[in-house]
């Protein structure tokens, strides 16, 4: 099994990076869609339905699968012997930030459900502020992995 993990490691790591890029794109874009949904959708006939569809497809077709692939590939890399030294702080920092990123993803899913059920209570400004969450988490993850503190 160890030989297989070493053999597929470069492929898994490549797929992991591609999935992370896709997931991050969605995490950056969905809160921005929510801003426009709150601030502009009511002023254009048919716009709320268009926003519902865009938000749903972004979550279901891009973000959800990208998150799953990110996690699966990340766990494969973690279980590849010699890749992660748990005595360092960096894997713990990265892991905590990835869990927080996953929480944020699920928080966005709940907000989309609120929109769909007509229960959204957040403003465009609040969504703009929440749009910074994935940026901060990305900084933590990249610095942890590259600097290996």
- Confidence (pLDDT) at 135: 97
Write down the pTM of the prediction: 0.93
- pLDDT tens for each residue of 106-134: 999 999 999 999 999 999 999 999 999 99
Cβ(62)–Cβ(25) under 8 Å? yes
- pLDDT tens for each residue of 11-33: 999 999 999 999 999 999 999 99
- Confidence (pLDDT) at 68: 98
Sign (positive/negative) of CA torsion 46, 48, 49, 54?
Answer: positive
Please say if the pLDDT value at position 41 is more than 90.
Answer: no
Nearest to 64 by CA among 91, 30, 13, 94: 30
Distance CA 30, CA 56 (A): 10
Report, as an integer, the average pLDDT of 60-69.
98
3-class SS of residue 75: helix
Q: How far apart are the first and last CA of the chain?
A: 30
Distance CA 100, CA 139 (A): 13
Give percent of the chain with pLDDT exceeding 70.
100
Report, as an integer, the average pLDDT of 52-71.
98
Q: CA distances (Å), 107 to each of 42, 51, 112, in order? A: 23, 18, 9
Cβ(106)–Cβ(71) under 8 Å? no
- Confidence (pLDDT) at 42: 82
Distance CA 141, CA 21 (A): 13
> What is the band of 93 on the pLDDT scale with cuts at 50, 70, 90?
very high
């Amino acid at each position: 099994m160890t030989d297989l993990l070493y053999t597929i490691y470069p492929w898994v790591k490549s797929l992991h990076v591609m999935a992370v890029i896709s997931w991050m794109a969605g995490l950056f874009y969905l809160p921005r869609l929510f801003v426009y949904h709150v601030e502009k959708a009511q002023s254009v006939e048919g716009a709320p339905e268009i926003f519902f569809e865009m938000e749903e497809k972004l979550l279901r077709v891009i973000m959800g699968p990208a998150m799953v692939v990110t996690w699966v590939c990340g766990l494969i890399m973690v279980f590849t012997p010699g890749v992660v030294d748990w005595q360092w702080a960096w894997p713990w920092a990265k892991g905590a930030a990835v869990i927080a990123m996953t929480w944020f993803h699920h928080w966005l899913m709940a907000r989309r459900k609120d929109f769909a059920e007509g229960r959204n209570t957040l403003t465009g400004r609040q969504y703009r502020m929440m749009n910074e969450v994935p940026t901060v988490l990305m900084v933590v993850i990249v610095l942890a992995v590259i600097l290996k503190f």
